[in-house]
Structure 1
Amino acid sequence: MQIRSFTVPDTAAVVALWREAGLTRSWNDPQADIRRKQTTQSDMFFVAEDDGRIVGTVMVGYDGHRGWIHYLAVADDYRGTGLGRSLVGQAETALGELGCPKVQFQVRPDNITVIGFYQHLGYSSYEAVNMGKRLVDDEAALEQV
């Protein structure tokens, strides 16, 4: 198994993995998210490949203040193998090389398994209000296709 940078031919397998892992939502077009990532810090999008199969992903970003982990996914049959820990480690290493002092991510509050996974890796929750505003309506764009 190897962890390497994402390449465009990985797109279909990555989207399939994200769907399997329950990461996709109707209001986010995963292919558009991949295209967007290719325009900024594209070297910080990693896939785990085993015998030609994409079995894990992590998308990482750094805004100069904090790092972010997105789209951490591990194939069902690779969970419990340490792959998730390795992908988070890859993300932390990439961010550390940029001088990033802090890393964050978002988890839905009912996703107890993932919260426990990150707590096991030394992460903790803190009080904050999450706010956002859509600048591009992916859901409407998907409906037009």
Structure 2
Amino acid sequence: MRKEIINPETGDWAEHEVAYAEGVAVQLPGAKRVFLSGIVAEGETIEAQTRSTLEYIEGLLSEYGGGMEDVVRVRVFISRPQMDEETLETVHDVRNEFFLREHLPASTLVEVEDLVDDDYMIEIDADAVIPEEGWETEQV
């Protein structure tokens, strides 16, 4: 079984070496499974940060032959000062640009006190399964 560590040098920003990578890809029979660490992005608004974060996730998945239709689970962390009804609507509006109804991922949304930097309003991690022969989906 093959395991690829995605961008393990991402911890270089810290004063000491950090033990994480942007993700891990595991080759399974018939599919590749990709686990992406929490992604944050620069931007002045929650809309800009959400869009930039999802674009980055989309880019990482494309490097492994996948796309947003392959995302099966996301975890979304929004910092407490940002969390309100308008923020939730904005985040979901942007998510709807990336996730089609027939490929909606399972999702967890968590309000947190703060993220690693005060400028970050949202962090998203994702798990994807990239099948060798495409998806057959069913809404139940």
Short-chain TM bin? 0.3 to 0.5
Q: Which has the higher contact order (CA 8 A, sep 6+)?
A: 2
Structure 1 or 2: more strand by fraction: 2
Structure 1 or 2: more helix by fraction: 1
